[in-house]
Amino acid sequence: MNIVVVGTSHGGYEAVKTVLENYPDAKVKLFEQSDKVSFLSCGIQLYLEGAVQDINYIHYATKEGYSDQGVDVYTRHQVTGLDPDQKTIHVKNLDTNETYDESYDKLILAPGATPRKLPFKGNDLDNVYFLRGREWALKSKAKIEDPSVTDVVVIGSGYIGIEVVEAYAKAGKKVTVIDVTDRILPTYLDHEFTDILTADLQKHGINVRTGEFVQEIQGRDGKASAVITDKGTYPADLVVEAAGVVPNTDWLKGTLELNSNGTIVVDAYQKTSAPDVFAAGDACMIRYNPTGKEMNIALATNARRQGVAAALNLEKPTFKIEGVSGTSALSLFDYKFATTGIKDATAAKSGLETSSVFVTDYYRPAFVPGTEKIYMKLTYEVGSNRIVGAQLLSKHDITAAINTLSLAIATKQTTQQLAFADFFFQPEFDQQWNYLCALAHAAYKQAKEIQPVAL
């Protein structure tokens, strides 16, 4: 069996790994547009901040390692098209500009996503950067180490934007972050948390400009010199656009069925509309547990699940992915936070009637030295009291607890069930009532399921 995999990041990596484990007699060919395979974009911040010194460490695999396992690897080869009738892909060698067709018996597409370019004047100026992939990481690192770069403007305050803000600020740059929404991290956290994080950003010297529309990137001698919004002008030796990503699927239009947002239509087994063609990763949607609907949730964990599923289902449909809740976590200067499922900011689009409860507590008894305050929010469906979302924040690292809440969503736990869950107590680690129990109990009381029980 001739198996071709396109793309070597999270989805492609897992697809190749699973193919090698389950189809030992298959011939495997792997195509990658970059000069290196399996780059981990999630590790860029660690590289920019110097926690990881060598960018070559931020890879799952190497071309040589794949070759040792019998995989034919084609780096610097861009796949530009697909002919499902002939069962071929169109390939361009980026070093020689040679084009040719490559045949397959089974094809797994993991093309990922590309940075979203915003439609304003100045995008083509030098010193306007994006941050996705190895090449942009290297360019950004050079700017961090460049003493002539003093003022940095970051457009967009999602995960990528916030990571860039922190990295450049720690390098001693003057950083301004601009977002069209009224607060940072608008789709990840509700205002109770973003208010805390915004104050912390400002404490670290970040100029936070929310609720502003970028109108133009101003240039001088072909280089970005300032960002102009509807409310001000901000000097810039470097501009980083971090306004999200779009599926890398333009080259598949007219060949595969695509959703309205550009993602590839796949069934429960990752099969596309074409025979023997499967897809995984950021170019696909995935079932969202809180609502049961398909959503585009560009997370490495989702891409990995889909890559495994695509490979396992090549010969026959046998393995379905369980839904996900968009579970993620991040640190920002003094705080660490995590989120899963629906929050107030996204509830209206969910189609569910929800309510939320916000709780401030300590993760262990206050008499224990060094105990930090924690901030928590639980969102549940009105009527059923089914847990559908949660958010956590603290200077202490409680982010792993979001995995418990993600599992509670997946298993349709109610606030009552989580409130009385069997969690251990030891004052070195937590309180008599674990903070997740206390959070769920507050929601339980709010929903008036039973008479309040003192904790």
Q: What is the pLDDT along the chain (455 residues), one digit of tens a residue?
A: 999 999 999 999 999 999 999 999 999 999 999 999 998 888 889 999 999 999 988 898 999 999 999 999 999 999 999 999 999 999 999 999 999 999 999 999 999 999 998 889 999 899 999 988 889 999 999 999 999 999 999 999 999 999 999 999 999 999 999 999 999 999 999 999 999 999 999 999 999 999 999 999 999 999 999 999 999 999 999 999 999 999 999 999 999 999 999 999 999 999 999 999 999 999 999 999 999 999 999 999 999 999 999 999 999 999 999 899 999 999 999 999 999 999 999 999 999 999 999 999 999 998 898 899 999 999 999 999 999 999 999 999 999 999 999 999 999 999 999 999 999 999 999 999 999 999 999 999 998 754 444 55
The crossing angle, in degrees rounded to 10, of helices 435-446 and 401-410 is 40
Residue 451: its pLDDT value, please? 47
CA angle 317-323-329, nearest 5°? 135
Residue 35 DSSP one-character state: S
CATH number of 2-114+245-313: 3.50.50.60
Token match 């069925």: residue? 257
**Residue 41 DSSP class:** G
Dist CA 336 CA 226 (whole Å):
32
Q: Taking the domains of the chain in order of start, what are their residue ranges?
A: 2-114+245-313, 128-241, 328-450
pLDDT at 240: 96
Cβ contacts of 404 within 8 Å, gap of 6 or more: 436
Separation between Cα atoms, residue 340 and residue 391, nearest integer Å:
7
Alpha-carbon distance 111 to 17, whole Å? 17
Q: What is the pTM of this model?
A: 0.93
Count of helices and strands (H, E) across the chain = 11, 25
The yes-or-no answer to whether 128-241 and 328-450 have a common fold is no
What's 321's DSSP letter?
P
Q: Report yes or no: 438 and 361 within 8 Å, Cβ to Cβ.
A: yes
**pLDDT score recorded for residue 452:** 46
The letter for the amino acid at 383 is G
Q: How far is CA 289 from CA 29, 127, 200, 326, in A?
A: 34, 41, 32, 9
128-241 is a CATH 3.50.50.60 domain: yes
Tokens at 361, concatenated: 């507590």
pLDDT confidence of residue 423: 95
Query: E strand or H helix at 210, and its extent?
Result: strand 207-210
Of the candidates 240, 190, 182, 191, the residue with the CA atom closest to the CA atom of residue 210:
182
Report pLDDT for 455. 52
- Find, among 257, 316, 253, 320, the residue nearest to 286 by Cα: 320
| The pair of three-digit structure tokens given for residue 36, joined into one six-digit string | 């290196």
Number of Cβ within 10 Å of residue 80's Cβ equals 12
Q: Judge contact between 218 and 84, C-beta under 8 A.
A: no
How far, in Å, CA of 317 to CA of 310, rounded? 9
Do residues 439 and 417 lie in contact, with contact meaning Cβ atoms separated by under 8 Å? no
Active-site residue, 10 included = yes
For residue 294, the one-letter residue type is E
Closest CA to 58 of 155, 135, 113: 135
Q: Which of 42, 90, 204, 396 is catalytic?
A: 42
CATH topology for 328-450? Answer: Enolase-like; domain 1 (3.30.390)
For residues 455 and 359, give the distance between their C-alpha atoms in angstroms, rounded to a whole number: 14
Residue with tokens 């008499």: 367
Q: Cβ distance 201 to 184 under 8 Å?
A: yes
Main-chain dihedrals φ then ψ at residue 347, nearest 5 degrees? -60, -40
Asked if 267 and 287 count as a contact pair (C-beta separation under 8 A), the reply is no
Structure tokens at 103: 């045949």
Q: Give pLDDT, residue 119.
A: 87
Name the packing angle between helices 10-22 and 300-312 (round to 10°). 30
